[in-house]
A and B are shown apart, each in its own frame.
Chain A
Amino acid sequence: MSGGKCCCGHGNEMELKLQEIIEKYKGTRGGLIPVLHEVQELYGYLPLSVQKKISEGLGVPLSEVYGVVTFYTQFSLNPKGKYNIQVCLGTACYVKGANLILEKLQEKLGIHVGECTEDGLFSLQACRCVGACGLAPVMMINDDVYGRLKQDDIEGIIEKYRKQEAAKVI
């Protein structure tokens, strides 16, 4: 969890952007949540090193930053995969068996909610209503929406993304 320190040379660039975001909201009441949104956009997740910088920069105790990050499901403590799967657990989806879809995904990917596959390809999240109740149960993979899901659909959908990736490598 070294927060942007890597060999590709983008580390410092990200750190500069992080500082820019903090500066933009410094002294603004209620600035913490917009900072967290933008920083998560930047890093993909909010590790300890990054939360520490936000805490120092905004003068908000780390415990409070962490409390906010863990309160809202949009914020993530773990890196997201290239394909972030969000399964809606809103009322309509839940009634239509979204929990079964989630179970199947966990089984297929071998990860729990909030985790990322070892190859970095898929991460799995449970989310609240995505506003497509007519299609319940619904999941999103990045910006693609999949509706009226059955457990048997999962295998094919995941394989589609895997093949897509394999094709790119070749």
Chain B
Amino acid sequence: MEMVNITIDGKKIQVPKGYSVLEAAKSANISIPTLCFLKDVNEIGACRMCVVEIQGARSLQAACVYPVSEGLVVRTQSPAIREARKVTLELILSNHDRNCLTCVRSRNCELQKLAEELNVKDIRFQGETHKKPLDNFSPSIVRDPNKCVLCRRCVSMCKNIQQVAVIDTVERGFDTIVSPVFNMSLNEVPCTMCGQCINVCPVGALREKDDTEKVWDALANEDLHVIAQTAPAVRVALGEEFGMPIGTRVTGKMVTALKLLGFDKVFDTDTAADLTIMEEGTELIQRIKNGGKLPLITSCSPGWIKFCEHFYPEFLDNLSTCKSPHEMFGAVLKSYYAEKMGIDPSKIFVVSIMPCTAKKFEAQRPELSSTGYPDVDVVLTTRELARMIREIGIDFKNLPDSQFDDPMGEASGAGVIFGATGGVMEAALRTVADILTGKDNKDIEYTEVRGTEGIKEAQIELGGLTLKAAVAHGLGNARKLLDRIKAGEADYHFVEIMACPGGCVNGGGQPIQPSEVRSWIDLKAERAKAIYEEDRTLPVRKSHENERVMKLYEEYFGEPGSHKAHELLHTHYTPRENYPEKG
């Protein structure tokens, strides 16, 4: 790597050519304040918080976009810099809805932190302020333009990374806002509800639709049997909400907390993930044997499903008809479990704790109510669960561990790895390999489908069949992969697609880490590590060896793909028009 010599604040350092001044300063442990910057997502030098003095330059320069060069001399502190940053920040604050006390991002807000760090005690500019209406029509995402600082991190995420592009900067000057077209709500445009915009927002301008009140009400209602089910990605991230290191597994504490909140039962969605693998694995084998539509594409990620319905309707027949695991679980709880426990299904209230905002939209789909009741009543994100835990004053860090409840709690390692990109593929391979080879294969870690590379491909020998598989995560990567399949440049038997980069561990409902963490630590990799760790600790690591699931087939469904299984565990998809014109 070619290196250059530079001087920052009198320190002589060597850094790789191609570094920005901000990266160079970071490597010398010199901190420069930023607001719009988010590494690899938004590097546009728009907010001017990171201005520095470059020797020889006429004016202050934005460190996040200024490239280093041989002999560069940089100062990151001076009276002029201090004043420029402060004026900029005060100008941003002058048109900001400063109701910090009731803001969802209070104490986790990059703007609030800057104001504190730069010691802003008075805002010298008392100008006009925006009063724009709140966009809260989407079941998943709330947009509050009055809190927006126009950093454009959400725009870059939506347009460049996810390539959905439903929001952009609109109008100019003081009137500029980030918005969908023609003042539409996020609910009227082809938003996939993935929530990645929320995760990159430095302030409270984007947040999930808070459904905690509905859950408090259900918990207080003695007629209801209230069940919580938790997705695998929640347990490896929830701890971050309570100051624990990224990648800490808090499965046992999470279960204890849910019981303290008053849930009658706490189940593991991973059990249903095992069920999904039984159904989806069977579907894959049948499609291969019977010349069905290939590639089979996974259907666990509701952001991906909505994306497919809007932008790639020609692939709808490729989608697995399997409902996503938590929806399957909901249907099982309101049928099999209700019968077994002698509870009227109308009295069962299912709350899914998910790393996902798109699942809030998914739960409202009318087709996902095969028992006559919605499969799932409310979806809470990891963040909302943390809020409920804080609200009743639980000391989360010091909680003892508890186990998931019987009779639905037992899951395999295959169910756990659903939370990371490549996990559904690997879980399916573990089962399909055993079925096709008729053996109990011991080599079950398919590392070629793991990791954070955008598109992963693998060819796997399975009892005479060379299974061609591909995994994409992040909708921009999904687009790339689907375009290649469409153009005939690639063909596969089985494809896994997850809407969020990194899969569910980095879902739109997960704890929000600020730019200063996200820019330098690979969140998705750290959380995925914890997922694979949990997999390795479990005695059963293949879905078809999950006794609970096998019993479910024995007692209720008969066999995977049976009529009853289809009624309760499978669904269908519909093409959606983009930007329909009214009238």
Residues of A at under 8 Å CB distance from B? 1-2, 48-49, 51-52, 61-64, 66-67, 70-71, 77
Once the chains bind, are A67 and B169 in contact (CB under 8 Å)?
A: yes
Once the chains bind, are B171 and A66 in contact (CB under 8 Å)?
A: no
B182's closest neighbor in chain A, by CB?
Answer: A48
Q: How many angstroms between the C-alpha atoms of A64 and B155 in the bound complex?
A: 10
Once the chains bind, are B165 and A63 in contact (CB under 8 Å)?
A: yes
Q: How many angstroms between the C-alpha atoms of A48 and B578 in the bound complex?
A: 12
B370 CB → nearest A CB, Å: 36
Q: How many angstroms between the C-alpha atoms of A2 and B581 in the bound complex?
A: 8
Q: How many angstroms between the C-alpha atoms of A114 and B107 in the bound complex?
A: 42
From known contacts A48-B182, A71-B172, infer whether A63 and B581 are also in contact, taking CB-CB under 8 Å.
no
Q: Quick one: which of B171, B172, B181, B581 contacts A62, CB cutoff 8 A?
A: B181
Once the chains bind, are A67 and B581 in contact (CB under 8 Å)?
A: no
Q: Does B281 contact A (CB under 8 A)?
A: no
Once the chains bind, are A71 and B171 in contact (CB under 8 Å)?
A: yes
Q: How many angstroms between the C-alpha atoms of A62 and B168 in the bound complex?
A: 9
Once the chains bind, are A52 and B159 in contact (CB under 8 Å)?
A: no
Contacts A1-B581, A66-B181 aside, 15 further interface pairs with beta carbons under 8 A come to: A48-B181, A48-B182, A48-B579, A49-B581, A61-B165, A62-B165, A63-B167, A63-B180, A63-B181, A64-B165, A66-B170, A66-B182, A70-B170, A70-B172, A71-B171
Q: How many angstroms between the C-alpha atoms of A71 and B171 in the bound complex?
A: 5
Q: Does B166 contact A (CB under 8 A)?
A: yes
Residues of chain A lying within 8 A (CB to CB) of residue B165:
61-64
Q: How many angstroms between the C-alpha atoms of A49 and B181 in the bound complex?
A: 12
Residues of B at under 8 Å CB distance from A? 159, 165-172, 180-182, 578-579, 581
Helix, strand, loop or mixed for chain B's interface?
Answer: loop
Once the chains bind, are A64 and B159 in contact (CB under 8 Å)?
A: yes
Quick one: which of A1, A52, A67 has the most chain B CB within 10 A?
Answer: A67
Q: How many angstroms between the C-alpha atoms of A62 and B188 in the bound complex?
A: 13
Q: How many angstroms between the C-alpha atoms of A85 and B159 in the bound complex?
A: 37
Residues of chain A lying within 8 A (CB to CB) of residue B180:
63
Residues of chain B lying within 8 A (CB to CB) of residue A63:
159, 165-168, 180-181
Once the chains bind, are A67 and B168 in contact (CB under 8 Å)?
A: yes
A53 CB → nearest B CB, Å: 11
B483 CB → nearest A CB, Å: 12
Residues of chain A lying within 8 A (CB to CB) of residue B170:
66-67, 70
Once the chains bind, are B168 and A52 in contact (CB under 8 Å)?
A: no
Interchain residue pairs with CB less than 8 A apart (21): A1-B581, A2-B581, A48-B181, A48-B579, A51-B181, A61-B165, A61-B168, A62-B181, A62-B579, A63-B159, A63-B167, A63-B168, A64-B159, A66-B181, A67-B168, A67-B169, A67-B170, A70-B170, A70-B171, A70-B172, A71-B172
Once the chains bind, are B579 and A52 in contact (CB under 8 Å)?
A: yes
Q: How many angstroms between the C-alpha atoms of A64 and B167 in the bound complex?
A: 8
B221 CB → nearest A CB, Å: 42
Once the chains bind, are B581 and A66 in contact (CB under 8 Å)?
A: no
A70 CB → nearest B CB, Å: 5
Quick one: which of A2, A52, A63, A66 has the most chain B CB within 10 A?
Answer: A63
Once the chains bind, are A66 and B168 in contact (CB under 8 Å)?
A: yes
B172's closest neighbor in chain A, by CB?
Answer: A71
B171's closest neighbor in chain A, by CB?
Answer: A70
A63 CB → nearest B CB, Å: 4
Q: How many angstroms between the C-alpha atoms of A88 and B260 in the bound complex?
A: 67
Residues of chain A lying within 8 A (CB to CB) of residue B181:
48, 51, 62-63, 66
Residues of chain A lying within 8 A (CB to CB) of residue B581:
1-2, 48-49
B187 CB → nearest A CB, Å: 15
Q: How many angstroms between the C-alpha atoms of A51 and B180 in the bound complex?
A: 14
Residues of chain B lying within 8 A (CB to CB) of residue A49:
581
A3's closest neighbor in chain B, by CB?
Answer: B581
Q: How many angstroms between the C-alpha atoms of A2 and B172 in the bound complex?
A: 27
Q: How many angstroms between the C-alpha atoms of A77 and B167 in the bound complex?
A: 18
Q: How many angstroms between the C-alpha atoms of A62 and B577 in the bound complex?
A: 14
B170's closest neighbor in chain A, by CB?
Answer: A70
A49's closest neighbor in chain B, by CB?
Answer: B581
Residues of chain B lying within 8 A (CB to CB) of residue A51:
181
B190's closest neighbor in chain A, by CB?
Answer: A62
Quick one: which of A2, A49, A51, A66 has the most chain B CB within 10 A?
Answer: A66
Q: How many angstroms between the C-alpha atoms of A45 and B169 in the bound complex?
A: 20
Q: How many angstroms between the C-alpha atoms of A52 and B184 in the bound complex?
A: 14
Quick one: which of B166, B168, B180 has the most chain A CB within 10 A?
Answer: B168
A57 CB → nearest B CB, Å: 14
Q: Quick one: which of B168, B172, B579 contacts A64, CB cutoff 8 A?
A: B168
Q: How many angstroms between the C-alpha atoms of A63 and B178 in the bound complex?
A: 10
A2's closest neighbor in chain B, by CB?
Answer: B581
Q: How many angstroms between the C-alpha atoms of A52 and B168 in the bound complex?
A: 15
Residues of chain A lying within 8 A (CB to CB) of residue B159:
61, 63-64
Residues of chain A lying within 8 A (CB to CB) of residue B168:
61, 63-64, 66-67
Residues of chain B lying within 8 A (CB to CB) of residue A52:
579
Q: How many angstroms between the C-alpha atoms of A77 and B170 in the bound complex?
A: 13
A102 CB → nearest B CB, Å: 17
Residues of chain B lying within 8 A (CB to CB) of residue A2:
581
Q: How many angstroms between the C-alpha atoms of A27 and B167 in the bound complex?
A: 23
B158's closest neighbor in chain A, by CB?
Answer: A63
B479 CB → nearest A CB, Å: 12
Q: How many angstroms between the C-alpha atoms of A64 and B178 in the bound complex?
A: 11
Q: How many angstroms between the C-alpha atoms of A71 and B176 in the bound complex?
A: 9
Q: How many angstroms between the C-alpha atoms of A51 and B181 in the bound complex?
A: 10
Residues of chain B lying within 8 A (CB to CB) of residue A77:
182
Q: How many angstroms between the C-alpha atoms of A125 and B169 in the bound complex?
A: 22
Residues of chain A lying within 8 A (CB to CB) of residue B169:
67
Q: How many angstroms between the C-alpha atoms of A101 and B536 in the bound complex?
A: 76
B547 CB → nearest A CB, Å: 49
Q: How many angstroms between the C-alpha atoms of A49 and B169 in the bound complex?
A: 20
Residues of chain A lying within 8 A (CB to CB) of residue B579:
48, 52, 62
Residues of chain B lying within 8 A (CB to CB) of residue A61:
159, 165, 168
Residues of chain B lying within 8 A (CB to CB) of residue A70:
170-172
Q: How many angstroms between the C-alpha atoms of A120 and B546 in the bound complex?
A: 72
B128 CB → nearest A CB, Å: 16
B163's closest neighbor in chain A, by CB?
Answer: A61
Q: How many angstroms between the C-alpha atoms of A151 and B169 in the bound complex?
A: 36
User: Would you list the 5 A-B pairs with minimal beta carbon distance, nearest first?
Assistant: A61-B165, A63-B168, A66-B181, A67-B168, A71-B172
Residues of chain B lying within 8 A (CB to CB) of residue A66:
168, 170, 181-182
Residues of chain B lying within 8 A (CB to CB) of residue A48:
181-182, 579, 581
